[in-house]
Structure formats: structure tokens, C-alpha cells
């Protein structure tokens, strides 16, 4: 085997590895749509290297920092609180409304 064959083999092996890897967009982010009992709807995005939750709520973008909690996840800021329990129950409180249970759509 000469250097040319080794180079071609290495390039083919590299292309095969890239083809089997997940896209960076799918590996780095997660988007979920929710509908709540009070009629509100929102989309939340989570990014791999960002501990905040990015919401699209009432036509506005809201970024919520992650807060400390004993169980599950809680994101809170700008009058909005998003909670996601370990069991998957999601609640949202915003704009002087009562806390509403939300289901993923």
C-alpha cells in the first residue's frame, strides 16, 4: 500500500464517520411545544451549553435562568415561572395568571 492509497482510505473513513454523526443542530438543541389548561401556548428551547430555558410566549421571546430546586427543573424570571417535574408534569405561571398545567403537543 502506498501513501496515495492510505490517504484515500483515510479520507473515505473520515467521510463515513461524518455521515453517521447526528447533525449539530439536533445534538445541541431541543424544542418543545406546549398547550396549557388556561389556553396559553408556548414553545420552549433548550440548548446543550446553556442552562436557561428560551420561551416564545404570547408572541415574545423570554429567557428564563435555571433556578435551584429539590426535584425536577425550575426556570424563573421576568414574572414567568416554568416547572418541569421528574415525572414530566409541566406547569407555567405568568402575567398575573394562576399556575396552569401544560401538556406537550
Cα gap 105→99, rounded to integer Å: 19
Distance CA 66, CA 46 (A): 11
What CATH topology corresponds to 24-104? Lipocalin (2.40.128)
Predicted confidence (pLDDT) per residue in 6-56, tens digit: 444 443 434 344 444 444 444 578 999 999 999 999 999 999 999 999 999
**Domain ranges within the chain, ordered by starting residue:** 24-104
Query: Residue 5 pLDDT more than 50?
Result: no
Amino acid at each position: 500500500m502506498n501513501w496515495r492509497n492510505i490517504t484515500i482510505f483515510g479520507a473515505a473513513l473520515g467521510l463515513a464517520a461524518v455521515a453517521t454523526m447526528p447533525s449539530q443542530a439536533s445534538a445541541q438543541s431541543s424544542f418543545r411545544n406546549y398547550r396549557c389548561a388556561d389556553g396559553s401556548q408556548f414553545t420552549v428551547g433548550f440548548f446543550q451549553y446553556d442552562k436557561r430555558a428560551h420561551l416564545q410566549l404570547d408572541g415574545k421571546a423570554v429567557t428564563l435562568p435555571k433556578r435551584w430546586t429539590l426535584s425536577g427543573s425550575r426556570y424563573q424570571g421576568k414574572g414567568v415561572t416554568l416547572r418541569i417535574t421528574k415525572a414530566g408534569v409541566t406547569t407555567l405561571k405568568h402575567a398575573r395568571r394562576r399556575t396552569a398545567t401544560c401538556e406537550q403537543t
